[in-house]
Structure 1
Amino acid sequence: MNSRLTRKLYSLLGEFKTFSHFSVDRLSTRDATNMPFMIWPNGSPCLIGNLYMQSLLSRKGRGKQGLSRKGQKGGSMGEYASKLSQLLRKCYRDSLDPITLQDGKFTDYIDEIRKETSSFNPAVTKKSETSVVATGKVWLDFLGFVGRLYGIPNFVSPEGSIRAREEKYVAASRNGRNIYRTYLTHHSFGESHREHRRNPITKEQIQQLKAAIRKDKSPAFVKVRRACMIELFSDTGGRRTEVANLKVDDVLRALEMEHPVLRLDTLKQAEGAERYVPVFSTALKKLKQYIEVERRKIMRTVYKGVKDHGYFFVSATTGRPLTSGAISNEINHLRKVAGIESQVCAHMFRHAFITNLFIRFIKRHQLTNEDDFRRALLDSQTFLAEVISWTGHLTSQSAEYYINLAFRDLAGYTETVSSVHLVMAMDKYFSEENELLALLEEGMPVTEYIQRLKVLQKMANKDFEIARQRESSLTRT
């Protein structure tokens, strides 16, 4: 019985098509690849859950093709399935059909997930208040669907069995126009509160993580793999799954380019969306070594006789592609080894990457306040297009968030070079040089230090020249 209450309640269907419509004696289907398939804890299919999942296929997401289903967890639809699973599990435990759920029981369920403790530290709660509310909103959305399916449109309403109310908010589009949207809320969610957003990771924290790689007692393969993770998160601003989806061929193609750019899948947009992010030669050198030495050895040893899947990050024990969850665990492990008590996670690298782009734009145009910056953004579509092309997504709301972060971090920030590309290349060089000095202090032979420093300087000079050419090209256009 215990396994029934803990088993995962959804799986991804892989390549799959579902019914769309029937017209002129012809059946039409629609793509439903990677759509979650819901089950009850006893393993039987959950009809109502799967009908809800199918309804989400028509829901608009950030891309033109609806909610994302990308990645090993099913993207945005996978998040819906994960949150819905928590409600289905409780309904199964209490022998309740979702249509029979009452407001008091819904409130009890919200209180349950609010009080759940972390499996790693029973002294802290498993979910933040933001996560509790986000889960509850999915439950309300699902129950509203259930009510409509049973012909009870007011099942979720101020006077319904589930006493939820609709609230409106205003969101600004990229062209500056206001978009009016609504969402369901419930009294058990408590008072409205500002959503907590992670801060960007600091340069000091990145250096601490790198030092943790060196002092941790892990195999050489794992150390090199972790170093590559830090490089990619720092230099590309990629999301976890985007970095997990990186292929060996993507790196090899970048190595052949005069002005290297790295292809990344772009999540939270249309299926198949991708972007190309400029990458430094110093970083590519590390990625190339990992491919040709550490990764090749693992694949030949533990993946022998099986066709190479081509993913860049692989497991040290199985050779299979590393999941986004495993990457998060790696960063968290390094945080603990480094003794960093504050939060550090993969997505904080992305915040730092985008914030630094905004900081450099501010310094480049000698802007002194946030209003000047907003006006400059309206007059500089080239900059916004560049940021979006590198990050894969930037709404007006998130732009506002990074404007605030950039001015907050600007105090004491000195900049004498106008080129965004060149500043990033210089920051990269000094970061690598500091890491070499740390290795020297930790016992690296002087001859090896000198040799690696010369290689670093050669690669950095190449990056500087590429940055100058990029800046010159942008100036001409």
Structure 2
Amino acid sequence: MNCRQLILINDNVKIPVLTIDDKVKYITVPCFPFARWPDLAPCLPVNSFLLNLFVNKSGRLSLLNKGGTFTTYAKELTHIIRYCHSNKLRMAGLSDRRFVAFKNYLEAEVDPMTGRSKRSSNHVARILRRTLDLLEYLHAKHARNIPWCIKASKKEISARDGSKYMIWTHPCIPVEESGDPRLPIGDAVIKRLKVGIRELWPDTQGDKSYLLQRRKLTLISVLEKLGCRRAEAARILTTDIYDAFNSPFKRPLLKIPSVKGVRKYRYVPVSKVVLSSWIDYIETCRLTIMHSYKMIDQHDFLFVSVNSGEPLAIDYITTEINELRRSLNISDPCHAHLFRHHFVTEVVKMLAVQYRAASADSFTQMLINDASLLKELREWVGHRSVKSLTTYIDLAYRELADVPKAYEEVRVRMAIDDCAAALDDLEARLTAGELNDVEYAYLARQVLEVSRSEIGPTPI
């Protein structure tokens, strides 16, 4: 197979669009994909399709992170590009028999390392449906007076948030595999990651090793405590962390960017103990990096590259977790988005206990009836509807052994857990020689004082 890269990401692309009065204006897009044939000639059918998508759906499709959804679509169409090129076929007018052969081609490819099929049935179905979008567009553009020969149709289905949308059906599209990909990352896996980071990047191996260690530990903490998406984690600002820490509330709200929905930000409660650990990273490791590359006044993003001081790329967050999983030989589910599922499940458990909802059904009904509670939950977890939370609600109730507990007990336990995690971190730094006894005692006292202020007079 020709392994040439077929999708290029171009910067600052000027795309022509028609205004209401039929005049042409140019919109500059920070990143946009450009498709090529394997012989490196421009792939005009796919590029035309992508531009049409931009003109008609740009408000609904993301351009974040190197072209966003447009780049994802372009990559899904590289398979039909290769297939048509190798078989000398025109995309416009592709027959139904050839479409079925394309599906067989997708399923026949084998990973040489594992000997298994390269793609799951879900992946094949996704590629085929994206290809049908392309073929429908080409038929409407170039052959609308000729009957479409592919035996495909669309049906309406319901999304998790209750909205309706159309999906392609065809006899050859495989039945998608069942299963729940949203199971949260386990507590034991999170602990293994934290311990393993210190083992792989010890303080004794020099400044860079230590800087990487602290950044990785802070990233794990951010993913665990905020339940944010990777694009949200990459865009967290240090000023927002300081604002949250300095607020008068026992459990302040941290402003984080939102990459889904119409709102640009949402607010998530975080303990001051956790915030203080992030501030320690900001004022030590991050500050060292920014000084080294004279980047102090350049940007305010929390996570930065140790090699340049530039903001950490969104994709690198995924790479960071995947490399940790491989390096530590973790066989349990472990990738960046599973931290989000862990967080959402924990929030549902906390609210279930707080409101003493005895079952998953009663909790769901409570969300339907109580608009303010639903709004609060949506703010924290970034989901739009009750229906999209069903999996997390069911999982939370499977994990809850006894729902009728007092809310204060849960709040105190969370504060104690945060305090214990912060003390464990200080102890590890003391053992590694990063802190001396005096520094350790001072920082430990700070952690205890902050925890005491959060817990308050409630008896444990």
Q: Normalising TM by the smaller chain, what interval?
A: 0.7 to 0.9
Whether 1:209 and 2:190 are equivalent positions in the alignment is no
Change (3 A) 1:117 1:381: farther
Give yes or no for the alignment of 1:47 onto 2:44: yes
Shift of 1:398: 1.5
| Amino acid in structure 2 at the alignment position of 1:78 | T
Shift of the 455–256 alpha-carbon distance from structure 1 to 2, 3 Å rule, reads: closer
Question: 2:184 maps to which residue?
Answer: 200
Change (3 A) 1:212 1:226: same
Where structure 1 has 5 or more consecutive residues not aligned to the other structure, the ranges are 469-477
Are 1:289 and 2:280 matched, yes or no? yes
- Give the Å deviation of 1:274: 1.9
Query: Which of 352, 376, 381 is 2:342 aligned to?
Result: 352
User: Alpha-carbon deviation of 1:437?
Assistant: 6.2
Structure-2 separation of matches of 1:457 and 1:76: 45
Question: What CA deviation, in whole Å up to 9, does each residue of 1:212-241 have, x standing for no partner?
Answer: 111114600110000110111011111011
Partner of 2:82: 89
| Structure 2: distance between partners of 1:11 and 1:448 | 48
Residues 307/116 of structure 1: CA separation in 2 closer, same or farther (3 Å cut): farther
Change (3 A) 1:14 1:341: same
Residue 337 (structure 1) shift: 3.8
Deviates more, 1:341-350 or 1:331-340: 331-340
Q: Which residue in the other structure is 1:137 paired with?
A: 129
Aligned to 1:375, the other structure's residue is in SS state helix
Could you tell me how far apart the structure 1 residues matched to 2:80 and 2:133 are? Answer: 12
Change (3 A) 1:18 1:338: same
Change (3 A) 1:128 1:394: farther
Alpha-carbon distance change, 117 to 229 in structure 1, aligned in 2, over 3 angstroms: farther
Instruction: Write the letter of the residue equivalent to 2:18.
Output: S
Q: Which residue of structure 2 aligns with residue 7 of structure 1?
A: 5
For 2:368, the equivalent position in structure 1 comes to 378
Distance of 1:107 and 1:126 partners within structure 2? 18
**Residue range with higher mean Cα deviation, 360-369 or 234-243:** 360-369
Instruction: Report sequence identity in percent.
Output: 27
More displaced stretch, 399-408 vs 290-299:
290-299
- In structure 2, C-alpha distance between the alignment counterparts of 1:153 and 1:280, rounded to whole Å: 64
Deviations 1:76-111 (A, max 9, x none): 233212212332233334333211433344334334
What is the Cα deviation at residue 209 of structure 1? 0.9
Go from structure 1 to structure 2 and tell me whether the alpha carbon gap of 1:311 and 1:85 turns closer, same or farther (over 3 Å shift): farther
TM-score, structure 2 length as denominator? 0.84
Question: Which residue of 48, 67, 73 corresponds with 2:61?
Answer: 67
Q: Does the aligned pair in 2 maintain the 1:68–1:269 contact within 8 Å? A: no
Q: Distance in 1 between matches of 2:354 and 2:130?
A: 43
Give the count of matched residue pairs. Answer: 449
Q: How far is the alpha carbon of 1:183 from its aligned partner?
A: 0.9
Q: 1:442 and 1:136 mapped to 2: Cα distance?
A: 53
Structure 2 SS opposite 1:275: strand
CA deviations over 1:323-358 (Å, ceiling 9, x no partner): 222211211222234432122011111111111111
Select the residue among 120, 128, 134 that pairs with 1:128: 120
Distance 1:249 1:92, change over 3 A: farther
Q: Which amino acid counterpart does residue 347 of structure 2 have in structure 1?
A: L
Q: Which amino acid aligns with 2:121?
A: E
Contact 1:164–1:184 under 8 Å retained in 2: yes
- Output the TM-score relative to the length of structure 1: 0.81
In 1, Cα distance between the equivalents of 2:245 and 2:299?
20
Q: Which amino acid aligns with 2:135?
A: L
Q: 1:154 to 1:129 in 2, by over 3 A?
A: farther
Between the aligned partners of 2:321 and 2:181, the Cα distance in structure 1 is: 18
- Please tell me whether the aligned partners of residues 211 and 338 of structure 1 are also in contact (alpha carbons under 8 angstroms): no
Which of 227, 231, 247 is the aligned partner of 1:257?
A: 247
- Asked if 2 retains the 8 angstrom alpha-carbon contact of 1:422 and 1:464, the reply is yes
The reply on whether 1:20 has 2:18 as its aligned counterpart is yes
Contact kept in structure 2, 1:429 and 1:456, CA below 8 Å: yes
Query: Once the 2 structures are TM-superposed, how far is the Cα of residue 374 of structure 1 from its aligned partner?
Result: 1.8
Work out the CA distance in 2 between the residues paired with 1:275 and 1:359.
20
Q: Distance in 2 between matches of 1:306 and 1:438?
A: 29
Structure 1 pair 451–347 and aligned structure 2 pair: CA distance change class (3 A): same
> What does 1:323-342 correspond to in 2, within 5 Å?
323-342=313-332
**In structure 1, how many angstroms separate the alpha carbons of the residues matched to 2:79 and 2:413?**
47
**Which residue identity is paired with 2:342?**
A
